[in-house]
Amino acid sequence: DSGVTQTPKHLITATGQRVTLRCSPRSGDLSVYWYQQSLDQGLQFLIQYYNGEERAKGNILERFSAQQFPDLHSELNLSSLELGDSALYFCASSVDVRDGGELFFGEGSRLTVL
Amino acid sequence: GESVGLHLPTLSVQEGDNSIINCAYSNSASDYFIWYKQESGKGPQFIIDIRSNMDKRQGQRVTVLLNKTVKHLSLQIAATQPGDSAVYFCAENPLSGAGSYQLTFGKGTKLSVIP
């Protein structure tokens, strides 16, 4: 158990809909990362938050957004869903990278868009 | 664009043998590399890491080798066990000095251990 909690574990929805994925980082970790894992693209970095503020952005679509709340949990919002958004979405957390330390991944939220 | 890739998509080894999983990277700016293990239905799990100022690092039954000249990374697993069966990813962090784990992952190698 990595200590990172993601909900829901599975989600099935239709094209055009909007979903929210939730992540609780490990206790004490200030950084939260979102990654997408699909069969054709592999694991792709989407976005990082540190202590409530966006720190880095990767290959995140404009239809997707995220935020980190004062209690450090994070949500990834996916809107106007398309078939190609079907994937595993992982949240990961770490202490401030400047101090070293590894990245801990949750077990993922599997999104299926029909 | 630059990316991290793996030479072999699948690898089968006999239990007790040593396994070697290879990875090629192309971003010469990367200075931090990590190997992850992903079991079915789970998230990636950290195995071992290495910084670019090193060429070898050992852990428990695992060794990572880094050859910066040819931009090659390998993971060696000694005395492979059935519990080692998983997909292994190499990842690089080209911005390790920026306070961010914007990891670029390879496609993964599936390791199957034959009892």
Give φ, ψ of B31 to 5 degrees: -130, 10
Shortest distance, CA B106 to any CA of chain A (angstroms): 7
Tell me: the pLDDT tens digits for A26-84? 998 999 999 999 877 788 999 999 999 998 899 899 999 999 999 999 999 999 999 99
Angle of CA points B50, B3, A33, to nearest 5°? 70
Strand order across the beta sheet in which B56-58 lies: B4-6, B19-25, B72-77, B62-67, B56-58
Of B89, B91, B101, the CB nearest to A97: B101
Contact of B114 with B57, CB cutoff 8 Å? no
Q: Which residues contact A99 (CB under 8 A, 6 or more apart)?
A: none
- pLDDT of res. B7: 45
* Segment A23-27 mean pLDDT: 96
Name every chain A residue with its beta carbon within 8 A of the beta carbon of B104: 45
Q: Which of A80, A60, A114, A72 is nearest to A96 (CA)?
A: A72
Cβ distance B101 to A107 less than 8 Å, yes or no, reads no
Residue type, B4: V
- pLDDT of res. B37: 96
Cβ distance A96 to B100 less than 8 Å, yes or no, reads no
Coil, strand or helix at A84: helix
Rounded to whole angstroms, the maximal C-alpha distance in chain A is 43
CA-CA-CA-CA torsion sign (A104, A110, A113, B4)? positive
Tokens for A104? Answer: 């801990």
Residue type, B8: L
Name every chain A residue with its beta carbon within 8 A of the beta carbon of B101: 31, 33, 45, 48, 92, 94, 97, 103
Distance CA B113, CA B8 (A): 15
Tokens for A32? Answer: 């939260």
DSSP characters for B75-107?
EEESS--GGG-EEEEEEE-TTGGGT----EE--
Tell me: the pLDDT tens digits for B8-50? 489 999 999 999 999 998 788 888 899 999 998 899 999 999 9
